């Protein structure tokens, strides 16, 4: 009987298999478990990418233009103490996991070979680190090369029977290093007969077993710290190694445990599916670091998580799984301000023994809370509390903070002794971070960037490592960078790939003169319309321009012309990707971080006066009563006649001697906008208020000079009305054309519970009623919330009401039902953003959709895909919020700087009352600040807090009552806040 | 059940009569005269032929019969008792979800599998899957596999989940002879090499598995390696036939055509000792010999001077009388008790056929 086998024979090419396979088990989301076999074709044409090697140049695969990818690794790599002939580094997975910040240092770590085995392991272990590693490999200066060792025949390693995956991967790394060394030596020999300088290929690993085996095989290998200490500024760099690794070795067999263990993943999954556990994002209250909350889909209200033990090592922002505590442990949310700094001043970062999770003082503070709550009946009803039982995803990022002076033992700058210090993050919701550093003396008084590496059960605070110093505390550069980092704003200059997407003509680009030019295809020539733009003074990125003229039938033609950004930014090129990442332009007091490169934002797209520009126009026919007759959309070419500031425009409209067509057009716009506004208000649009101030800076140094609240003119609302109208018209059109994938913006109606507190406060204190059934009734009742003696009271209520609202968000129309599209604040059924494509990515997408809706161009597939659009929306929602926060933080910093050294008495209003302090809002500067009882007098006076009447009766020498909404006179000084290192305005009672 | 036409042999009554008389000699002379009554046809076997299956095997017999078996396992939710499932209905805040923490000592020990957890499908070339042959073969194999409850027991994951085993049996060649034994042996070998991903979760949680295939656990742990005394092997069917007083194992197609009776014996390794085998099932199979045309003796043939029987009943009576005359008449079936006992003994005794087959299949190392 002739014998044959179904199995693939390995004997075909003499045992030198060019085919291998990988077997693993894949568990799918739906619970299926599959055995997966992946075949791998091994090849010999993967180059070593060293410029020393000629042989690999011959075999390297070429692309369609017959060019091979240029080689990465230098032919004269830098040497070190151990390897004088220069070295190529091959770090293993743990080296990257623990030392990623080191590898990112510009001055060291060049010529690194990233093995595919390592890259894949890094990806499995930590996605953020993987992305950083990928970014490194794209950085030309760093010369990182990804070598696909698993696909190269010589370096492929088959897993042995009984070998663990880790051992196999370690062996693969060693094999690759061995091959590289041999290969480089051969290459050098082929280059010059009398080669004397052969670079070593060095494995970097902290695994002792791996190092031992490497030594046995004669493979050059070093631990990361050994290698770093051989470098010039080794001591400083050593701080940047992640703490996680070291700790594991230092502390062995020390079973003292402070936090409960996390549940296993499968147990959490089971619990989640069964509804016994809940998943959500862990948020810490900015007023009380011991109070966390998790909003879970199952309940309307967030679940409370009180105390460190229940928080169980979750850091604000983490995705956690919680379990609800038994009812007898339910509590009311604390009404007390608890700040970490005041309770845990005397913690010793070095001390590990005798640590309690909740320190004695913390526990007492919580106990008092509970007692108080139990004594109450109606107001402080106990709320469901929960505890964290596991973490689905850590959202640890890099945190900006400063070193706690009290935690530093020796402040000598020369001492290189390693010590453990606390980093106090700027964000109060983040716990102190333990850092191990040798440069504590130098870091004092600096803004420091650090990351969290681990939080073990036996440590009260998380362990992290130093990344870099941003500069002196309070210096403008350091503070600006700090707030950009804190709000995750991408502020690096645009990479070359993005700039390559700009038009080649640069600033000389013009609208083509010939109407036959392809740029004119489908464009209307609107150059003879009397268009003008109205913007804040000094505005350079002019998004929008307007015109109005009377038609023969008595109606008006009104046009809104928006910069045609989508003409310059094509979908899916590098510039588009960068813009979609950035999501929005961020405005700081003295700085603007652009979404698009300057050339586009401030020149080619900007609708500058007197020049022809491409635009996307919305043209309406409007009756004199401001009723819409028709709306048309077209790509166009316009020539703006004038760029006004709000004030200039106002003056021109008010000046009756000006009777030219342009001014008359503006008067028509003004008349129509007032009618439009009235209609909107009648429909129930909210007139909300947020404290907006403007910091005046000296033009040269941009040092703050004065703070003013922003003035609003009629022309502001003129522009606003027509922008709203354009946005609504475009939203309708886009939704009609793409019912599933239109990018829209919604503002959900706030749940009733959000207003409960404000409404009861108004009722108790002022006898006013806040009706919240609809936006209309809210708007009406807000109008009635006045105090004849206090004109500002109404604004104060509006500010507080605004804080009860939901935030508006971008969404993809297919993900919501039509009634959910509603924009609550604007009282519009449907809304989108269209009018600021230079500074918002959402508007750019809306432009593309509108262009497709009017058959100007075909829609890019990415705008057809609901999933992709949802991703875009999610990102820009976050970016939008962060940009706002960064802007506010910037103002806050500058207000602080402007008031530096000043001592002003101002009027303020009590906005919120706690049992041991209250919050005062000062309208003049748009600032609010906390006044604690202990700030009133020392020792801290006794006080009685009446939560139902919103009164805090301070006893003792102070002897006064603090009421909600009360007008108080306060003294404004500035101080450096101990806990965050920020210069902050300090308000104290007069 | 009568094997269908393709299994019929086209031999003349004289040839059948010759075959039968050689087989009933002592010792019997088989069609392949080099083989004794206990000898199996030689075979080629290999396992792990299907890379993506949890277990697989292929066996080719010398007469060209060839089978391929793949075993796939899927996680399935258990229907009957799911303690968490019941709790799902009122979505209230029940703080203590304790069922997972409960000891499950008694419950688990008693938790048996269900026969439905093993699904078996047979593909025989030239047959629809609802034809009698594949259906009969399928149910025979299935009932054998689940007979001792060992297989389904090892498919139990926890109270809420279990493995579902899909055994796909493919006869690669036309059914040249009765394929039951071959299919059973191939299935046996495939199950022997089947591995299930290693479980990482505990108790009644949603199962979570180790993604390392090398850590997968064999469905039938190798007793020599694991060192446990309890031998657990998938059952295997051997086919035996009786001709007169003789018992012949693993009959070929022609031999079956003269069998008095055919027996399918399902045996498995005996649980206590490592020798001998335990019979878990036995079935008689209607042999194809019943359908063979009878020879016509001279006395009944008018052409040779006999008298043709007037009715079919008289024909039957006349044939009965001529039973031992050497003229072929299809056997009537039936088996003597002693013969049955003898077959059972031959299969189950120490060093018997059952043990031999099981050990031989386990001994296969390289395909």
Mean pLDDT within B162-175: 92
| CB-CB contact of B242 with B260 (8 Å) | yes
**H/E element, A723:** helix A714-737
Among B213, B216, B217, B367, which would you mutate to test the A interface (most chain A Cβ atoms within 10 Å of its Cβ)?
Answer: B213
Chain A hits for B211, Cβ within 8 Å: 24-27
Choose the closest CB to B201 out of A7, A266, A324.
A266
Domain definitions of chain A by residue range = 11-43, 78-241, 265-393, 398-472, 496-742+830-884, 750-804, 901-989
Q: Which residues, in sequence order, are CB contacts of A72 under 8 Å at separation 6+? A: A49, A143, A144, A145
Q: Which pLDDT score, from 0 to 100, does residue B95 have?
A: 39
For the A901-989 domain, the top CATH level (class) is: mainly beta
Chain A hits for B75, Cβ within 8 Å: 31-33
Q: By CA distance, what is A166's nearest residue in B?
A: B212
Chain A hits for B165, Cβ within 8 Å: none
Neighbours of B226 (CB within 10 A): 11
Q: Which pLDDT score, from 0 to 100, does residue A129 have?
A: 85
Q: Do A7 and B367 touch (CB under 8 A)?
A: yes
Which of 242-281 (A) contact B at CB < 8 A?
264-267, 269-271, 273-277
Choose the closest CB to A37 out of B52, B95, B197.
B52
Q: By CA distance, what is A39's nearest residue in B?
A: B51
If you average pLDDT over every residue of chain B, what do you get? 80
More confident position, B171 or A704:
B171
Quick check: A168 contacting B, CB < 8 Å?
Answer: no
Choose the closest CB to B208 out of A24, A265, A324.
A265
Q: Which residues, in sequence order, are CB contacts of A786 under 8 Å at separation 6+? A: A793, A794
A453-473: burial string, b at 16+ Cβ within 10 Å, e else: bbbeeebbbbbbbbbbbbbeb
Mean pLDDT within A800-829: 88
pLDDT at A824 over 80: yes
Q: Do B75 and A269 touch (CB under 8 A)?
A: no
pLDDT digits (tens, 9 = 90+) for A850-865: 999 999 888 888 888 8
Q: Which pLDDT score, from 0 to 100, does residue B90 have?
A: 39
pLDDT digits (tens, 9 = 90+) for A78-105: 887 778 888 899 999 988 888 888 888 8
Chain B hits for A386, Cβ within 8 Å: none
Q: Which pLDDT score, from 0 to 100, does residue A518 have?
A: 86
Choose the closest CB to A276 out of B77, B94, B200.
B94
Q: Do A35 and B100 touch (CB under 8 A)?
A: no
Q: Do B205 and A3 touch (CB under 8 A)?
A: no
Q: Which pLDDT score, from 0 to 100, does residue B79 have?
A: 74
Mean pLDDT within B203-230: 74
pLDDT at B114 over 70: yes
Chain A hits for B209, Cβ within 8 Å: 25, 27, 33
Q: Which pLDDT score, from 0 to 100, does residue A248 have?
A: 47
More confident position, A960 or A848:
A848
Q: Do B206 and A264 touch (CB under 8 A)?
A: no
Q: Do B208 and A27 touch (CB under 8 A)?
A: yes
Q: Is B240 helix (H, G, I), strand (E, B) or coil?
A: strand
pLDDT at A358 over 60: no
Q: Do A270 and B49 touch (CB under 8 A)?
A: no
Chain A hits for B206, Cβ within 8 Å: 31, 266, 269-270, 273
Q: pLDDT tier at B77 (50, 70, 90 boundaries)?
A: confident
Say what percent of chain A tops pLDDT 70.
Answer: 88
Interface of B with A (CB under 8 A): 42, 44, 46, 48-54, 58, 60, 62, 68, 73-75, 77, 84, 87-88, 91, 93-97, 100, 197, 200-202, 204-214, 216, 367
Chain B hits for A269, Cβ within 8 Å: 205-206, 208
Q: Mean pLDDT check: name the lowest of A291-305, A346-360, B211-225.
A: A346-360
Q: By CA distance, what is B366's nearest residue in A?
A: A5
Q: Which pLDDT score, from 0 to 100, does residue B252 have?
A: 87
Nearest-neighbour CA in chain B from A23: distance (Å): 6
Spatial distance between the Cα atoms of A561 and A619, rounded to a whole number of angstroms: 8
Quick check: A1 contacting B, CB < 8 Å?
Answer: yes
Return the CATH number of A265-393, one of 3.40.640.10, 3.40.50.1370, 1.10.10.1800, 2.40.50.690.
2.40.50.690
Q: Which residues, in sequence order, are CB contacts of B269 under 8 Å at separation 6+? A: B231, B232, B233, B277, B278, B355, B358
Mean pLDDT within A683-694: 72
Q: pLDDT tier at A672 (50, 70, 90 boundaries)?
A: very high
Q: By CA distance, what is A327's nearest residue in B?
A: B95
More confident position, A409 or A841:
A841
Choose the closest CB to B97 out of A7, A165, A271.
A271
pLDDT digits (tens, 9 = 90+) for A709-759: 666 788 888 999 999 999 999 999 999 999 999 999 999 888 887 888 888
More confident position, A563 or A64:
A563
Nearest-neighbour CA in chain B from A260: distance (Å): 16
pLDDT at B88 over 50: no
Q: Which pLDDT score, from 0 to 100, does residue A308 have?
A: 82
Nearest-neighbour CA in chain B from A919: distance (Å): 36
If you average pLDDT over every residue of chain A, what do you get? 83
Mean pLDDT within A441-462: 84
Provide the token pair at A661: 């067509």
Q: Mean pLDDT check: name the lowest of A40-49, A92-101, A367-376, A768-777.
A: A367-376
pLDDT at B224 over 60: no
CATH number for the region A398-472 comes to 2.40.50.700
Query: ipTM, 2 decimals?
Result: 0.75
Q: Mean pLDDT check: name the lowest of A33-47, A876-890, A914-928.
A: A914-928
Provide the token pair at A789: 């003696």
Enumerate the β-bridge partners of residue B217.
Answer: B196
pLDDT at A249 over 70: no
Q: By CA distance, what is A326's nearest residue in B?
A: B95
Mean pLDDT within A883-899: 83
Q: Do domains A398-472 and A901-989 have the same CATH topology?
A: yes
Q: Which pLDDT score, from 0 to 100, does residue A727 have?
A: 94
Choose the closest CB to B212 out of A24, A33, A265.
A24
Neighbours of A659 (CB within 10 A): 9
Q: pLDDT tier at B175 (50, 70, 90 boundaries)?
A: confident
| Secondary structure E strands in A654-740 | 693-697, 704-709
pLDDT at A199 over 80: yes
Mean pLDDT within A555-582: 92
A25-47: burial string, b at 16+ Cβ within 10 Å, e else: bebeeebebbbeeeeeebeeebb
| CB-CB contact of B263 with B242 (8 Å) | yes
pLDDT at A10 over 60: no
pLDDT digits (tens, 9 = 90+) for A456-480: 887 888 888 888 888 888 788 888 8
Q: Which pLDDT score, from 0 to 100, does residue A255 have?
A: 53
Q: Do A264 and B42 touch (CB under 8 A)?
A: no
| CB-CB contact of A968 with A908 (8 Å) | yes
Provide the token pair at A156: 């492929």
The single-letter DSSP state of residue A957 is T
Nearest-neighbour CA in chain A from B231: distance (Å): 24
Mean pLDDT within A179-189: 88
Q: Which pLDDT score, from 0 to 100, does residue A977 have?
A: 67
Q: Is A20 helix (H, G, I), strand (E, B) or coil?
A: strand
- Burial class of A643 by CB neighbour count within 10 A (0 to 12, 13 to 18, 19+): buried
Chain B hits for A274, Cβ within 8 Å: 84, 87-88, 97
More confident position, A457 or A502:
A502
Enumerate the β-bridge partners of residue B123.
Answer: B170
Q: By CA distance, what is A21's nearest residue in B?
A: B51
Mean pLDDT within A317-329: 85
Among A31, A162, A271, which would you mutate to test the B interface (most chain B Cβ atoms within 10 Å of its Cβ)?
Answer: A31
Q: Which residues, in sequence order, are CB contacts of A304 under 8 Å at separation 6+? A: A291, A292, A293, A331, A333, A383, A384, A385, A386
pLDDT at A374 over 80: no
More confident position, B287 or A613:
A613
Q: Which pLDDT score, from 0 to 100, does residue B85 have?
A: 40
CATH 3.40.50.1010 fits domain A78-241: yes
């Amino acid at each position: 009987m002739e014998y044959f086998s179904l199995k693939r024979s390995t004997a075909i090419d003499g045992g030198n298999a060019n085919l291998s396979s990988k077997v693993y088990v894949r568990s799918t989301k739906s619970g299926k478990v599959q055995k997966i076999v992946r075949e791998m074709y091994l090849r010999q044409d993967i180059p070593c990418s060293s410029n020393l090697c000629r042989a690999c140049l011959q075999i390297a695969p070429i692309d369609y233009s017959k060019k091979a990818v240029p080689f990465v690794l230098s032919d004269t790599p830098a040497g070190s103490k151990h390897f004088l002939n220069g070295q190529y580094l091959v770090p293993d997975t743990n080296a990257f996991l623990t030392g990623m910040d080191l590898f990112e240092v510009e001055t060291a770590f060049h010529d690194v070979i990233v093995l595919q085995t390592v890259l894949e392991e890094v990806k499995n272990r930590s996605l953020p680190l993987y992305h950083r590693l990928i970014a490194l490999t794209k950085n030309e200066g760093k010369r990182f090369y990804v070598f696909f060792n698993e696909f190269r025949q010589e370096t492929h390693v088959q897993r042995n029977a009984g070998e663990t995956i880790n051992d196999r991967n370690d062996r693969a790394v060693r094999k690759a290093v061995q091959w590289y060394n041999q290969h480089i030596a051969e290459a050098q020999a082929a280059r010059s007969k009398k080669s004397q300088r052969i670079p070593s290929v060095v494995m970097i690993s902290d695994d002792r077993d791996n190092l031992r085996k490497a030594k046995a095989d004669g493979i050059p290998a070093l631990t990361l710290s050994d290698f770093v200490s051989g470098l010039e500024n080794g001591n400083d760099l050593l701080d940047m190694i992640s703490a996680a690794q070291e700790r594991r070795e230092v502390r062995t067999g020390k079973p003292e445990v402070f936090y409960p263990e996390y549940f296993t993943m499968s147990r959490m999954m089971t619990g989640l599916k069964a509804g016994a556990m809940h998943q959500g994002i862990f948020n810490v209250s900015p007023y009380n670091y011991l109070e966390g909350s998790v909003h879970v889909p199952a309940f309307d209200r967030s679940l409370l998580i009180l105390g460190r033990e229940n928080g169980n090592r979750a850091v604000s922002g983490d995705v956690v799984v919680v379990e609800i505590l038994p009812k007898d442990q339910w509590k009311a949310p604390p009404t007390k301000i608890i700040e970490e700094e005041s309770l845990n001043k005397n913690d010793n970062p070095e001390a590990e023994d005798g640590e309690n999770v909740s320190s004695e003082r913390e526990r007492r503070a919580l106990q008092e809370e509970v007692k108080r709550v139990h004594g109450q009946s109606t107001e402080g009803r106990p709320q469901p509390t929960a505890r964290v039982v596991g973490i689905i995803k850590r959202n640890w990022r890099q945190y900006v903070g400063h070193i706690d002076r009290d935690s530093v033992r020796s402040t000598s700058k020369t001492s290189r002794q390693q010590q453990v210090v606390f980093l106090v993050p700027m964000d109060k919701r983040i716990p102190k971070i333990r850092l191990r550093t040798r440069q504590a003396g130098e870091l004092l008084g600096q803004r420091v960037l650090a990351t969290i590496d681990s939080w073990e059960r036996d440590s009260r605070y998380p362990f992290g490592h130093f990344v870099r110093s941003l500069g002196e505390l309070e210096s403008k550069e350091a503070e600006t960078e700090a707030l950009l980092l804190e709000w995750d704003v991408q502020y690096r200059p645009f990479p070359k790939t993005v700039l390559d997407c700009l038009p080649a003509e640069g600033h000389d680009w013009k609208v083509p003169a010939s109407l036959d030019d392809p740029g004119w295809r489908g464009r209307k020539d609107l150059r003879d319309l009397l268009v003008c733009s109205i913007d804040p003074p000094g505005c350079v990125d002019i998004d929008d321009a307007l015109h109005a003229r009377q038609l023969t039938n008595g109606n008006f033609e009104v046009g809104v012309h928006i910069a045609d950004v989508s003409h310059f930014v094509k979908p899916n090129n590098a510039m588009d990707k960068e813009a979609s990442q950035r999501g929005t332009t961020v405005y700081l007091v003295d700085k603007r971080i652009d979404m698009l490169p300057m050339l586009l934002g401030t020149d080619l797209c900007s609708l500058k006066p007197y020049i022809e520009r491409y635009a996307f126009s919305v043209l309406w026919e409007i009756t004199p009563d401001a009723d819409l007759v028709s709306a048309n959309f077209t790509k166009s070419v316009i020539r703006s006649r004038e760029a006004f500031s709000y004030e200039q425009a106002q003056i021109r409209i008010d000046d009756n001697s000006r009777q030219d067509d342009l001014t008359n057009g503006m008067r028509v716009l003004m008349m129509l906008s007032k009618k439009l506004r009235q209609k909107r208000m009648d429909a129930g649009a909210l007139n909300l208020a947020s404290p907006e101030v403007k910091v005046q800076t000296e033009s040269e140094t941009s040092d703050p000079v004065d703070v003013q609240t922003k003035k609003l003119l009629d022309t502001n609302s003129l522009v606003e009305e027509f922008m709203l109208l354009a946005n609504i018209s475009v939203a309708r059109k886009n939704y009609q054309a793409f019912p599933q994938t239109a990018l829209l913006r919604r503002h959900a109606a706030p749940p009733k519970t959000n207003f409960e507190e404000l409404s009861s406060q108004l009722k108790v204190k002022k006898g006013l009623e806040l009706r919240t059934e609809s936006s209309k009734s809210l708007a009406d009742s807000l109008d009635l919330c006045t105090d004849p003696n206090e004109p500002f009271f109404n604004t104060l209520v509006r500010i507080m009401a605004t804080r009860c609202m939901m935030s508006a968000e971008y969404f993809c129309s297919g993900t919501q039902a039509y009634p959910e599209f509603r924009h609550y604040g604007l009282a519009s059924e449907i809304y989108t953003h269209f009018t600021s494509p230079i500074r918002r990515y959402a508007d750019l997408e809306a432009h593309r959709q509108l262009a497709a809706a009017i058959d100007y161009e075909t829609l890019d597939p990415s705008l057809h895909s609901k999933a992709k659009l949802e991703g875009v929306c999610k990102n820009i929602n976050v970016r939008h919020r962060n940009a706002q926060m960064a802007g506010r933080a910037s103002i806050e910093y500058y207000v602080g700087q402007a008031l530096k050294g000043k001592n002003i008495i101002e009027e303020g209003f009590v906005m919120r009352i706690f049992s041991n302090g209250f919050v005062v809002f000062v309208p003049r500067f748009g600032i609010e600040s906390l006044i604690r009882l202990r700030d009133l007098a020392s020792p801290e006076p006794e006080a009685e807090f009446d939560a139902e009447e919103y009164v805090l009766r301070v006893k003792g020498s102070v002897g006064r009552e603090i009421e909600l909404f009360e007008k108080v006179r306060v003294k404004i000084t500035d101080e450096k806040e101990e806990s965050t290192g920020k210069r902050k305005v300090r308000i104290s009672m007069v | 059940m009568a094997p269908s036409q393709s299994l019929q042999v086209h031999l003349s009554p004289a040839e059948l009569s010759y075959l039968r008389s050689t087989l009933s000699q002592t010792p019997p002379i088989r069609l392949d005269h080099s083989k004794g009554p206990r000898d199996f046809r030689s075979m080629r076997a290999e396992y792990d032929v299907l890379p993506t299956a949890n277990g697989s095997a292929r066996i080719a017999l010398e007469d060209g019969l060839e089978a391929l078996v793949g075993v796939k396992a899927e996680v399935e939710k258990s229907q009957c008792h799911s303690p968490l499932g019941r709790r799902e209905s009122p979505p209230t805040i029940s703080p203590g979800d304790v069922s997972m923490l409960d000891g499950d000592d008694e419950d688990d020990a008693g938790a048996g599998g269900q026969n439905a957890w093993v699904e078996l499908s047979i593909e025989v070339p030239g047959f629809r899957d609802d034809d009698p042959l594949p259906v009969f073969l399928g149910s025979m194999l299935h009932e054998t596999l689940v007979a001792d409850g060992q297989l389904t027991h090892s498919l139990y994951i926890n109270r809420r989940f279990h493995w579902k085993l899909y055994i796909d049996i493919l006869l690669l060649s036309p059914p040249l002879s009765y394929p039951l034994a071959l299919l059973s042996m191939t299935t046996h070998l495939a199950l022997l090499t089947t591995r299930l991903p290693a479980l990482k979760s505990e108790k009644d949680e949603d199962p979570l598995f180790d993604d390392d295939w090398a850590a997968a656990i064999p469905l039938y742990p190798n007793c020599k390696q694991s060192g446990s005394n309890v031998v657990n092997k998938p059952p295997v069917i051997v086919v035996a036939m009786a001709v007169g007083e003789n018992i012949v194992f693993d009959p070929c197609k022609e031999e079956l055509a003269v069998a008095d009776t055919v027996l399918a014996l399902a045996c498995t390794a005996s649980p206590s000792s490592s020798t001998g085998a335990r019979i878990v099932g036995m079935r008689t199979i209607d042999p194809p010999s019943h359908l063979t045309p009878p020879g016509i003796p001279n006395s009944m043939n008018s052409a040779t001077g006999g008298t043709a029987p007037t009715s079919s009943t008289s024909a039957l009576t006349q044939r009965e009388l001529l039973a031992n005359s050497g003229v072929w008449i299809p056997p009537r079936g039936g088996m003597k008790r002693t013969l049955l006992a003898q077959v059972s003994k031959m299969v189950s005794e120490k060093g018997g056929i059952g043990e031999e087959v099981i050990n031989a299949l386990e001994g296969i190392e390289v395909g």
